[in-house]
Chain A
Amino acid sequence: MKVILTGISIVLVLVLTFVNISDYALYSNKRNLIARAVDYSVCAAIQEVDLSLSKVGLSEGFDSETGKVLINDIHLDEQSSENAFFETLLTNTGEKRNDIKENTLIVYIHPSTGGINYLIKKESERHEGFVTSPDRLEAAINNAIDALLDTNNTQSDSHVIYVNGNPSTNEFKEAPYFLVFIKNHEIDGLFRRRSATFVGFAGAKISRQE
C-alpha cells in the first residue's frame, strides 16, 4: 500500500510540474511573439507620413547655417499609421485590433518651431499637447497613461515608461515618433490567463536626397 501511495504522489507531483511548465512556456512564447511584433509594427507605422500635412516640413530641407537636416512639421497619417500598426501585429501574431484597442495608447509626436507637439489617443479619446523639449515627453506620456488607463491595480505591470530616465537607453530626440503602450494585455497559457504590458516606439527615418 505504501509503495502505491508513494507512486501516486510522485505521479501527481510530476503532472503538476509538467502542466505548470507547459503553461508558462506557452504564455512566455506568446508574450515574446507579441513583443517582437510590436517592434515590427511601430517601424511599419512610422513610415506613413501624411504628405499633404507635411508639405511645409518636407520642403524645408536643411538649416542654412548649420547644414543640419530639418525634420520639423512632419506629420503622420493617423489612419494609415494605425492600419499599418494593427495589420503588422495581426500578421505576425494573430492578435486582432478589436481585442487590444481598449488597452492601447497610441502617441504621435512631431517637432515644430519652439518645441514638440504630441497627440495621445485611446480609441476615440484624444489629448493634444505641447512640450518645449524632448525630455519632457516622458512625463507627459506617463500622465496620460495614468489618466486614460486603469492603473489602480498595484499587482499589474509597470504603469510608466522610462525613456529619458536611463542614459543607456535611447532618449527621445527632436524627431517624429510613433509610440504604442499596450497595458495588461491578457495572454492565454494552457489553463491560466496572465497579463503583460508592451511598449514600442520608432522614430521616423527622414532621408534627404541630394
Chain B
Amino acid sequence: MSKIYSFIIIIPLIAMLLFKGVFFYEYDTKQRYIKDLVDSTAYVVKITGILTQDEYNRLKTNLNKYAIFEDDDIVIKKGIYSNGNITISEPYTPGTRLTKGDAFAIYVQSDNVSNYSKIENLGVSVDDAKNLYFKAKAVCRVEYID
C-alpha cells in the first residue's frame, strides 16, 4: 500500500520540485545574461555617446539567444538631466549622437513568458500580471566629450 502512495503522491511531488528547480535556474541565469547585455550596451553609450545601428543589431541578436525580443520589445529613450533630476521622454533612434550630460535609457521585456512562469501558473496566465517575463533596464548619463 505504501508503495502505491509513494508512486501516486511522493514521486510526482519530487519530479515537480526538480522541474521547478531546473526552470528557476534557467530563468535566473537567462535573466542575468540579459541584464549583462543591456548594461554592456548602456556602458558603450555612456563612454562613446552613440548607439550605432550595428551595436543595436548585435544587442538584438544576442538578446534573442535567450528569449524572443522583437523591435517593439526593446525600448530606447533619451532625456536630459536638469539640476540633477532626470527627464527621459524622447525615443532614441540608433545612430544619433548624444552630447555630454544627456540621459540614455534601455528597457527590454521578452515577448515570450519564461518556462518558470509557465510551470508556476500551469501555462500562460490570462492575468498578465502573474506572468514572469525576462526584463532588464539600464539608465545612464553620457560622459562622452566631443
A198 and B42 alpha carbons, distance in the complex (Å): 21
Which residues of A sit under 8 angstroms from B32, Cβ to Cβ?
Answer: 29, 32
A1 and B17 in contact (CB under 8 A), knowing A21-B24, A80-B83, A91-B105? no
Enumerate A1-44 residues with CB–CB distance to B below 8 Å: 1-4, 7-8, 10-11, 14-15, 17-18, 21-22, 25, 29, 32-33, 36, 40, 43-44
Binary flags per residue of A179-205, CB closer than 8 Å to B gives 1, else 0 = 000000000000000000000000001
**Contact residues on B (Cβ < 8 Å of other chain), bracket:** 35 or more
A7 close to B10 (CB less than 8 A): yes
Q: Does B118 interact with chain A (Cβ within 8 Å)?
A: no
- Is A117 located at the chain interface by the 8 A CB criterion? no
Do the beta carbons of A14 and B21 come within 8 Å of each other?
Answer: yes
Within 8 A of A (CB), among B15-41: 17-18, 20-21, 24-25, 28, 31-32, 35, 39
Interface status of B78 (Cβ within 8 A of chain A): no
Say whether A79 contacts B84, CB under 8 Å. Answer: yes
Find chain A residues with CB under 8 A from B14 CB. Answer: 7, 10-11, 14
Q: Mark B1-15, 1 if CB is under 8 A from A, else 0.
A: 011011001110110
For the complex formed, measure the closest distance between the CB of A188 and the CB atoms of chain B, giving whole angstroms: 16
* A145 on interface, CB distance cutoff 8 Å: no
* A10 and B12 alpha carbons, distance in the complex (Å): 12
Instruction: Decide: A43 and B18 in contact? CB cutoff 8 A.
Output: no
Q: From A1, A10, A11, A40, give the contact of B42 (CB < 8 A).
A: A40
Q: Which residues from 39 to 75 on chain B have a C-beta closer than 8 Å to any C-beta of chain A?
A: 39, 42, 46
Residue among A17, A21, A40 with the highest chain B CB neighbour number at 10 A:
A40
Interfacial residues of chain B within 104-122, with CB under 8 A of chain A in the complex: 105
- In this complex, the member of B11, B18, B141 whose beta carbon has the largest number of chain A beta carbons within 10 angstroms is B141
- The yes or no answer to A83 lying at the interface (CB within 8 A) is yes
> Would B17 and A14 count as touching, CB distance under 8 A?
yes
Main secondary structure of the interface of A (DSSP, over half): helix
Q: Does A87 contact B (CB under 8 A)?
A: yes
18 CB contacts below 8 A, A to B, read A3-B2, A14-B17, A18-B17, A21-B24, A29-B32, A40-B42, A40-B140, A43-B140, A44-B81, A44-B103, A45-B84, A48-B81, A79-B84, A80-B84, A84-B85, A85-B84, A87-B85, A91-B139
Contact surface of B with A, Cβ cutoff 8 Å: 2-3, 5-6, 9-11, 13-14, 17-18, 20-21, 24-25, 28, 31-32, 35, 39, 42, 46, 81, 83-86, 88, 100-101, 103, 105, 137-141, 143, 145
Binding site for B on A (CB under 8 A): 1-4, 7-8, 10-11, 14-15, 17-18, 21-22, 25, 29, 32-33, 36, 40, 43-45, 47-48, 77, 79-85, 87-88, 91-92, 205, 207
Top 10 nearest A-B pairs (CB, nearest first) are A83-B84, A7-B10, A84-B84, A44-B141, A80-B84, A207-B145, A91-B139, A14-B17, A40-B140, A25-B28
